[in-house]
Structure 1
Amino acid sequence: MALAEYGIYLSYNNQEEGFQIPIMPGKIEISSGGKGSTYDVSKLGEINVIKDPALKEYSFESFFPASPMPFTSGTVFEPSFYKDLIEKWMGTKRPIRFIFVGSTFEINTPASIEQFDWSEQNGAVGDIFFSLKLKEYKFYSAQKVVVQQTTATRAGSNTAVAKKTTRADSRSKPKTYTLKPGDNLISVARKVLGDDSKWRAIQTANGLTDAQLRALPVGKVLKMPT
């Protein structure tokens, strides 16, 4: 999915699935704020404790057109394609990638789909009108606590030590990939495995000859190397 123009892009699982919003909304609402708390302190009065900022929220409204229009952006699909994909992503309970490319600023962040409402309206048969609300997502993983016995303190005392863990990986590990228009093994290796150089491993896993690489058919299912 090339990001070469002004627009809104939604994708899932490291761009394995995704699309550009075909009709740009009239506005995008971005809300953010702090999570400070106030307390009354004796002989000092009210104090404000500043905490980390709250996660940003993004919301906008538009529609998926049933027929081509002169002002659509990117590749345009049937309205049900967008609706079904968004609902499928919500069902996975995993974040998507939200990208907004504007004239003065850009947004590129993982986000959760908080709300997706859609409807059909009289006078616009086939069009799907929708509103979408996203919330910034931060990756995290639980820390394992290991209890260690101490010898320098009194008997029976313990010390809890947090064991460091790596950041959680939101991507599932695909076993296959279906070729799309414009794909080649290098782009598939980059998109699915995150490394261009692994295209040879894909070729080997599928028993492809160099001659076959020149004419890979759209829709062919490739096995991904483990």
Structure 2
Amino acid sequence: MDIVFSANNFEEVMRIPVIPQELNIEEPWNNEEFETIGQGTLNLIGLKGLRSLSIESFFPTREYIFARDKRNGWDYVEFFRKWRSKRVPLRVIITDNQDREILNMPCTIDNFVYGIDRTGDITYSLAVKEFVFVKVT
């Protein structure tokens, strides 16, 4: 499995070095419930909501043989901080072990928390949400 983030149409690309144990993609649907007089509660099928993804792992600050990318951990932190401050949406692309695309989604960074563990590696939690490009007709 690979998780890649790109900024500004692949101007800068970061491959997540350590794949998390668990990966959850949320795909909400905005259904709406309402009470009726004679039929009780009804559920109306709404429109698709914005997908979201949360990742918790670590950025290595030294070389590990299992790391998929060999940059210093602080390079990843700087990537997410830089593009978030520029207010530019990123694109996240997730592929499985057979290079089949699982997710290809423009996104915004909703939350980015990082810290340093006892070994000096950078632990982090990253939450992104789907970004929809506005079409003007």
TM-score, normalised to structure 2, is 0.89
Task: Among all aligned residue pairs of Structure 1 and Structure 2, give the percentage whose two residues are the same amino acid.
Answer: 29
* Equivalent of residue 15 in structure 1, options 3, 7, 10: 10
Unaligned segments of structure 1, at least 5 residues = 1-5, 142-164, 167-226
Superposition deviation, residue 105 in structure 1: 5.2
Paired position in structure 1 for 2:109: 113
Superposition deviation, residue 57 in structure 1: 1.1
Paired position in structure 2 for 1:26: 21
Whole-Å Cα distance in 1 between the matches of residues 106 and 23 of structure 2? 17
* Equivalent of residue 138 in structure 1, options 125, 128, 132: 132
RMSD of aligned alpha carbons: 1.6
Matched, 1:63 2:58: yes
Q: Which has the higher helix share?
A: 1
Whole-Å Cα distance in 1 between the matches of residues 72 and 54 of structure 2? 22
TM-score, normalised to structure 1, is 0.56
Q: Which has the higher strand share?
A: 2
Paired position in structure 1 for 2:40: 45
Contact 2:58–2:122 (CA<8 Å) still a contact in 1?
A: yes
Paired position in structure 2 for 1:98: 92
Unaligned segments of structure 2, at least 5 residues = none
1:38 is paired with a residue whose SS is: strand
Quick check: which has more Rg, 1 or 2?
1
Superposition deviation, residue 15 in structure 1: 0.5
Cα distance change on mapping 1:43 and 1:35 into 2, 3 Å: same
Contact 2:61–2:74 (CA<8 Å) still a contact in 1?
A: no
